[in-house]
Structure 1
């Protein structure tokens, strides 16, 4: 197989991950080309490294999810430091549900855990693996390629973390760094202990369209819950006045409920590639509609923001249609 064809899925994931994580979400307008290129070294390299290690070592989605959560803690605690910075981009993102003993706002912690575990890492991997067809669970890079990707991620991460502190004027405390570091290591070790999960058992599952609808509803509940944060980045449902403690309980219930159902379905014989894509598609299209009421973080004109959201939504739909045709074929 020619080199370009062999690494094509890896190149795809390199770009789909940041496009989903930041641009489809509505954080950044697609006109920010330099930002797009730079975020590939963070999201693209991170998602690709996680996927390659998982597939090379015979691990599946349990390990990918554990490492995706580790990635999220790693990024928000050390790179952007949003877990500790109470005035990130001039917004008091941690005031809602702030716990002094932890030094962070728990609703924001819950939101970031879901954002990175599902949308930044898992959804791009699921969609691109579907497009890869018969190579869905095989390595896309050689050992040298994996080392290069990991090194790029490490170098960019260190430079970015230092830059955030120096130019953003914010560094967390040693205790905060240490606590986050212990959690990241624990999640990495957990992923190493996880294989492909429980054996498949006989049983039916809801159809792909029902799973797609389920993912849309679950995704909507997740993003709408953050919109209730009165001090958040986009508090357009703050009038509902949801207490912070209730917000945390609802996040936990949503995570537990969705996780339990998906685990149950995915271990049944009726589970297929179409169901896996349906979950990812529902999550991806949640970000698509969510981008319109969400406020951009990197300043952009209203026209650029609206155009970017429309272009990214159309792009997501087209990508998912290609993936669906791949499954059907």
Structure 2
């Protein structure tokens, strides 16, 4: 099988650029960090996409595997899940003593990775890939390479976290994280594959889907780090999942709706990036300039994806396949 290198490379780089740089966790000064972050984020995203497409599964599986990815990264690789103060940020709120985890930030770590680090990069890259949209991209050698670079990057980041003194994870906690991650992986492959579209053709216009995604994801990111915030997080996630499921099963749902969904969530990360930079690098104008660069790049990517031939032909193919089913 000939590997389509453009989408592979695109996803490999887009996952860390969205997951860390657009959000402002890593500034443009540290763009060289892609050497380590791309194998971790991009390697993980490629493995998740390949596992999903090879088994004929769909977006529920991608997102469930994304949750497992986020849990392992925060709970085993960098240890942020169990830290009360990671990279200068206080994560001690709403702590569950017997688990050693913040209920609020733990949810955010895992959900953010599933949606922004994994889901959105896969969605945008696939939409730009007209000929190989839902087919495997990697052969056996490619899969092996992706797995090796992902594991190697994870071990290096874990070593760096240990060396810096920010890693405070016991073997029991690591084992617990692995068990829960394995349960999520089992659930991911037990979920049904793509289902036939319904007959109802009406669906909200793409711009309205994008606005709704922006509003819901923004509301999610500004919730207070309290037990009320935890409850609202769960409610927003359930509401968003229900709305997307309901809309995507209608015959009028197209690829451009998916792109609009991603665009709304990306713009949430864009404004949040300025906020996080203000908290972590308030005296660094270069970091703020980087926020602007990444925001413009995200807007350009969305515009190109939305106007691409793949988005149009993919929309037509989706509607036709749902009718045949």
Fold match (TM-score > 0.5): yes
Q: Kindly indicate whether residue 269 of structure 2 is the aligned counterpart of residue 287 of structure 1.
A: yes
Q: Kindly indicate whether residue 234 of structure 2 is the aligned counterpart of residue 252 of structure 1.
A: yes
Secondary structure at the aligned position of 1:172 is classed as coil
Which 5+ residue runs of structure 2 have no aligned equivalent? Answer: 314-325
Q: Distance in 1 between matches of 2:280 and 2:219?
A: 25
Question: Matched residue pairs, number?
Answer: 310
Aligned counterpart in structure 1 of residue 152 of structure 2, from 150, 155, 175: 155
Deviation string, structure 1 residues 31-58 (Cα, Å, up to 9, x no partner): 2132122110111111111111111221
Q: Distance in 2 between matches of 1:31 and 1:266?
A: 39
Secondary structure at the aligned position of 1:291 is classed as helix
CA-CA distance at 1:298 after TM superposition: 7.4
Contact 1:30–1:36 under 8 Å retained in 2: no
Q: Distance in 1 between matches of 2:56 and 2:251?
A: 20
| 1:185 aligned partner | 182
Q: Kindly indicate whether residue 291 of structure 2 is the aligned counterpart of residue 309 of structure 1.
A: yes
Q: Distance in 1 between matches of 2:180 and 2:230?
A: 19
Q: Distance in 1 between matches of 2:215 and 2:130?
A: 28
Secondary structure at the aligned position of 1:102 is classed as coil
Q: Distance in 2 between matches of 1:2 and 1:186?
A: 33
Q: Distance in 2 between matches of 1:296 and 1:38?
A: 25
| 1:59 aligned partner | 57
| 2:248 aligned partner | 266
Which 5+ residue runs of structure 1 have no aligned equivalent? Answer: 230-243
| 2:319 aligned partner | none
Q: Distance in 2 between matches of 1:195 and 1:324?
A: 28
CA-CA distance at 1:197 after TM superposition: 4.3
C-alpha root-mean-square deviation of aligned residues, in Å? Answer: 1.9
| 2:192 aligned partner | 195
Contact 1:29–1:300 under 8 Å retained in 2: no
Contact 2:86–2:166 under 8 Å retained in 1: no
TM-score, structure 2 length as denominator?
Answer: 0.90
Q: Distance in 2 between matches of 1:298 and 1:54?
A: 36
| 2:28 aligned partner | 30
Deviation string, structure 1 residues 282-326 (Cα, Å, up to 9, x no partner): 111111122112237876852111110000011001111110111
TM-score, structure 1 length as denominator?
Answer: 0.89
CA-CA distance at 1:25 after TM superposition: 0.6
Q: Distance in 2 between matches of 1:49 and 1:300?
A: 36
Q: Distance in 1 between matches of 2:271 and 2:166?
A: 34
Aligned counterpart in structure 2 of residue 82 of structure 1, from 80, 83, 91: 80
Q: Distance in 1 between matches of 2:122 and 2:2?
A: 22
CA-CA distance at 1:246 after TM superposition: 0.5
Q: Distance in 1 between matches of 2:153 and 2:65?
A: 19
CA-CA distance at 1:15 after TM superposition: 0.6
